[in-house]
Amino acid sequence: MSNQEAEAFIKKLDEGLAIAEQEMLRDKASRGESVVYSDSQGNIKHVLASDVLAGRVLG
Protein backbone atom coordinates (compact mmCIF):
# COMPACT_ATOMS: atom_id res chain seq x y z
CA MET A 1 0.00 0.00 0.00
CA SER A 2 1.45 3.33 -1.01
CA ASN A 3 1.62 6.32 1.28
CA GLN A 4 -1.13 8.03 -0.72
CA GLU A 5 -3.36 4.95 -0.45
CA ALA A 6 -2.75 4.74 3.29
CA GLU A 7 -3.67 8.41 3.74
CA ALA A 8 -6.87 7.92 1.71
CA PHE A 9 -7.77 4.89 3.83
CA ILE A 10 -7.17 6.77 7.08
CA LYS A 11 -9.28 9.70 5.83
CA LYS A 12 -12.14 7.34 4.95
CA LEU A 13 -11.87 5.65 8.33
CA ASP A 14 -11.94 9.00 10.17
CA GLU A 15 -14.99 10.12 8.18
CA GLY A 16 -16.80 6.87 8.95
CA LEU A 17 -16.02 7.14 12.66
CA ALA A 18 -17.30 10.72 12.74
CA ILE A 19 -20.56 9.65 11.07
CA ALA A 20 -20.97 6.74 13.50
CA GLU A 21 -20.34 9.03 16.47
CA GLN A 22 -22.98 11.52 15.30
CA GLU A 23 -25.50 8.72 14.74
CA MET A 24 -24.80 7.31 18.21
CA LEU A 25 -25.20 10.75 19.81
CA ARG A 26 -28.49 11.41 17.98
CA ASP A 27 -29.79 7.99 18.98
CA LYS A 28 -28.85 8.48 22.64
CA ALA A 29 -30.21 12.04 22.65
CA SER A 30 -33.57 10.81 21.32
CA ARG A 31 -33.81 8.52 24.36
CA GLY A 32 -32.54 11.11 26.86
CA GLU A 33 -29.38 9.10 27.56
CA SER A 34 -25.94 10.25 28.59
CA VAL A 35 -22.46 9.49 27.31
CA VAL A 36 -19.25 9.00 29.28
CA TYR A 37 -15.90 10.60 28.49
CA SER A 38 -12.79 11.74 30.31
CA ASP A 39 -11.70 15.35 30.60
CA SER A 40 -8.16 16.65 30.09
CA GLN A 41 -7.22 15.65 33.66
CA GLY A 42 -8.52 12.10 33.18
CA ASN A 43 -11.65 12.59 35.28
CA ILE A 44 -14.69 10.58 34.22
CA LYS A 45 -17.63 12.73 33.10
CA HIS A 46 -21.25 11.80 32.37
CA VAL A 47 -23.13 14.25 30.12
CA LEU A 48 -26.38 14.16 28.21
CA ALA A 49 -25.92 13.30 24.56
CA SER A 50 -28.21 16.22 23.71
CA ASP A 51 -25.77 18.59 25.44
CA VAL A 52 -22.89 17.19 23.38
CA LEU A 53 -24.86 17.68 20.16
CA ALA A 54 -25.79 21.22 21.19
CA GLY A 55 -22.14 22.07 21.89
CA ARG A 56 -22.76 22.75 25.58
CA VAL A 57 -19.95 20.45 26.67
CA LEU A 58 -16.40 21.73 26.75
CA GLY A 59 -13.63 19.29 26.85
Tell me the pLDDT tens digit for each residue of 1-53: 899 999 999 999 999 999 999 999 999 999 999 999 998 899 999 999 999 99
Kindly report the pTM of this predicted structure.
0.80
Confidence of residue 57 (pLDDT cuts 50, 70, 90): confident
Annotate the chain with DSSP letters as a single string: --HHHHHHHHHHHHHHHHHHHHHHHHHHHHTT-EEEEE-TT--EEEEEHHHHHHT----
**Per residue in 9-22, pLDDT tens?**
999 999 999 999 99
59 is a domain residue: no
Q: 28 is in which domain, residue-wise?
A: 3-54
11 is a domain residue: yes
Instruction: Provide the domain count of the chain.
Output: 1
The answer to whether 10 and 34 have CB atoms below 8 angstroms apart is no
Q: What is the pLDDT of residue 1?
A: 87
15 is a domain residue: yes
24 is a domain residue: yes
